[in-house]
Amino acid sequence: MIRVFLVDDHAIVRDGLRSVLSAEPLLQVVGDAGNGQELLDQLPTVPTDVVLMDLNMPVLDGLATTHELHKQYPHLRILILSMMTHEHTINKLLVAGAHGYVLKNADKAEIVMAIQAVAAGKRFLCSEIGLTALEKLLVIEAEVATTHSNDSPRLTSREREVLQLVATGLTNQQIADKLFTSKRTVETHRQSLLEKTGAVNTPSLIKYAMEHGLLQ
């Protein structure tokens, strides 16, 4: 049985949560409070496994309460239930000691899953927040990839061919023979590659090409 303590400054929210959670055979609502200070006043006499707590509350809000709970009751599991979606706020709560974060618009099944997860020693982020974080990460990665792509020099197809062959260790004459062109033309392409990449010699040219993904 997981013993849950509800903390929210709106009595109607606490009543709704109590009704929902009491229907779960593995959950037991052992108490409720309107703010963090009321919770701290009751905890010494109310054995609790998980605190399900709002963020914005008078007297002592969710963040301040999380700090206190982490210091006074390190064994207690803390699950924040809020409408706030900003990642900075969520990160501050997790750093302060919260073990999970779920939005108030989450369905019953996800809230129950969140309580069970943190009670089992795991961390939990509701699906909406997790998907939003993933989307932002993908955007950042795409921007980084575009930036790196834009930083790379614009090479002609022939320069790329020469670069590939230079990387294999072929001499100018061997490259010329392979591409059916003159040695002087190859030398011109090599010089152009050095100028475009800012490399000072063949080793630094190959190093630059590897770092910027120019080699196949």
Q: Give the model confidence (pLDDT) of 108-167 as tens digits.
A: 999 999 999 999 999 998 877 766 655 655 565 555 555 455 556 678 888 888 888 888
Residues 88 and 184 in one domain: no
Residues 18 and 115 in one domain: yes
On whether the CB atoms of residues 156 and 139 are closer than 8 A, the answer is: no
Cα–Cα distance for residue pair 159/155, rounded to 1 Å: 6
Domain containing 175 — which CATH number? 1.10.10.10
Q: Does residue 192 fall inside a structural domain?
A: yes
The 10 Å Cβ neighbour count of residue 12 is 8
Is the pLDDT higher at 189 or at 5?
A: 5
What was the pLDDT predicted at 26? 94
Number of domains composing the chain: 2
The pairing of beta strand 50-53 with beta strand 124-125: unpaired
Final residue before a domain boundary, out of 126, 149, 175 = 126
Residues 111 and 163 in one domain: no
On whether the CB atoms of residues 160 and 197 are closer than 8 A, the answer is: no
pLDDT digits (tens, 9 = 90+) for 87-112: 888 889 999 999 999 999 889 999 99
Q: Does residue 149 fall inside a structural domain?
A: no
* Average pLDDT estimate for 36-64: 96
Residue 97 belongs to domain spanning: 2-126
Average pLDDT, the chain: 87
What was the pLDDT predicted at 16? 94
Residues 106 and 190 in one domain: no
Residues 187 and 115 in one domain: no
Domain containing 89 — which CATH number? 3.40.50.2300
Q: What is the model's pTM?
A: 0.64
Q: Does residue 146 fall inside a structural domain?
A: no
Residue where the block lists tokens 């974080």? 133
Ordered DSSP codes for 26-93:
TEEEEEEESSHHHHHHHGGGS--SEEEE-SS-SSS-HHHHHHHHHHH-TT-EEEEEES---HHHHHHH
Maximum mean pLDDT: which of 34-38, 157-161, 206-210: 34-38
Q: Does residue 25 fall inside a structural domain?
A: yes
Residues 87 and 47 in one domain: yes
Is the pLDDT higher at 17 or at 213?
A: 17
Residues 108 and 9 in one domain: yes
Closest CA to 7 of 58, 71, 73, 45: 58
* Average pLDDT estimate for 55-75: 95
* Average pLDDT estimate for 18-37: 95
Residues 16 and 103 in one domain: yes
Residues 40 and 122 in one domain: yes
